[in-house]
Structure 1
């Protein structure tokens, strides 16, 4: 502890960084940022912008960059994204407006580099938002991502045309709305872990994602399912599996 206090005193360590080393999180006016999550859990902490003001989101993003080198913001609208960019003028900003994600990284930040690939397939274009959130998490975990768009079960030929890519991936995330059938079909065709990501697309009874998640939970093929629109969770879970695959390959090398 004395070393940390002396580092703060001589300016080589900020108070926020010192707090993280002592408690594992940084305290701000907008809340506490779990800066140790990636070290503790292997998954980068995300700042959920939904329900937060742009200023609150930016405050937490600054704390994230200061203490972990990078901020990953999810469910961010234009105002959130602009506030983060304004608060971090020297950061490298990567925004996906469709997925509503913003990544702000310090210029010297180095992402992990895993020897693993995750394929992300969508049933339709409307599923791209949740799928993009999963992809953002995976990229920040250092995973190679293969996107396969609009291959829903209304025409099975679209899935079969991409079967080689699906089978070559180490993990597959499948985002689908409506009845959520695509993950079941894919899981019956590949020998790798499949994570179903139900999406709240569709209309009428069950169109809010309820039919999709129930269909995945009742799948007769082997797959896992996350909650509706939970792109971050699907990406993080796939990333943890991919990291185990990468570690195994390193051990065999």
Structure 2
């Protein structure tokens, strides 16, 4: 439960004042030795803690997932492997793994989604990073429209979806190679564009550095850039923007 739910429970008589007091007396993180779970993060920021799965020891990952699920009723992790999915599944059989985005999650079934975010890719090879962004935004409560493979080598493909893109509260532009998609979208929409450079491309793309530099140097207005392949970061920021847009309606 978050702080508001605790207070509502006290108000309705669902829990006693003493039980609520014990909740608020908990330290703002849970010490596990190898990890300090930030159990108050949602209270501070509006979003619960997310697990970066890559390079975590099996026993650590298993226990972290189990504890976060017990605390929040759902849990979300990025950059997970098939092996890590199998490890977590030993203690949480309901966990779901997506082998495109490498997301490992248990999501609440009764979740309400608000607003609208458009996630666009230049090519099909950019979809894994785009899916990390899209599924992050969906997990945090946003409606997402996916518009994939609409890069500048065939710009008519993107223009045929322009109505969907322009009505979104935020646009995520995921592109490798030269990364031009973000600049094109920035010139066509009135809402913020979050550019995500990917490591897709030939040698001179330098594993996404060329796309990153193109996006940073864009002359289009309203473009912010996250790190190479950082779909999670883009999905998180897009969700924050979407929440503000819905709140301001």
Are 2:113 and 2:138, in contact at CA under 8 Å, matched by a contact in 1? no
Q: Is the Cα–Cα contact under 8 Å of residues 107 and 139 in structure 2 kept in the other structure?
A: no
In the alignment, the residues of structure 2 paired with residue 119 and residue 27 of structure 1 have an alpha-carbon distance, to the nearest angstrom, of 38
Q: What's the counterpart of residue 179 of structure 1? A: 178
1:136-157 deviations in Å (ceiling 9; x for gaps): 2111111001011111111111
Give the Cα separation in 2 of the matches to 1:235 and 1:110: 21
Do 1:178 and 1:207's aligned partners in 2 also have CA atoms closer than 8 Å? no
Looking at structure 1, the residues matched to 100 and 24 of structure 2 have their Cα atoms a distance apart, in angstroms, of 32
Q: Deviations along 1:6-38, whole A, 9 cap, x unmatched?
A: xxxxxx9xxxxx799622222225412222222
Name 2:231's counterpart in structure 1.
Answer: 231
The residue aligned with 2:202 is 203
Q: Do the aligned partners of residues 19 and 57 (structure 1) sit closer, same or farther apart at CA in structure 2, a change above 3 Å counting?
A: farther
Measured in 2, the distance between the counterparts of 1:77 and 1:200 equals 19
Instruction: Specify every segment of 5 or more residues in structure 1 that has no aligned partner in the other structure, as ranges.
Output: 1-11, 13-17
**Other-structure match for 1:136:** 135
Q: Does 1:193 align with 2:187?
A: no
Change (3 A) 1:21 1:118: farther
Matched, 1:26 2:25: no
Contact 1:139 1:145 survives alignment (8 Å):
yes
Please, what is the CA RMSD of the aligned residues?
2.0
What TM-score do you get using the length of structure 2 for normalisation? 0.85
1:86 to 80, 83, 90: 90
Deviations 1:29-50 (A, max 9, x none): 5412222222211233211111
Partner of residue 148, structure 2:
149
User: CA separation in 2, counterparts of 1:147 and 1:68?
Assistant: 28
Task: Give the structure-1-normalised TM-score.
Answer: 0.84
**Contact kept? 2:133, 2:232, Cα under 8 Å:** yes
Shift, 1:206, TM fit: 3.0
Q: Secondary structure at the match of 1:23?
A: coil
Q: Which residue does 2:121 correspond to in 1?
A: 122
Q: Deviations over 1:95-150 (max 9, x none)?
A: 211000011246xx753x34310010011111111111111211111100101111
Aligned residues: 228
Bigger shift: 168-177 or 43-52? Answer: 43-52
The structure-2 alpha-carbon separation of the partners of 1:229 and 1:20, relative to structure 1 and needing over 3 Å to count, comes to farther
Quote the residue 1:15 is aligned against: none
Taking the aligned partners of 1:21 and 1:100, their CA distance within structure 2 comes to 36
Which moves more between the two structures, 129-138 or 23-32? Answer: 23-32
Show structure 1 runs of 4+ deviating over 6 A: none
Select 2:74's aligned residue among 58, 70, 74.
70
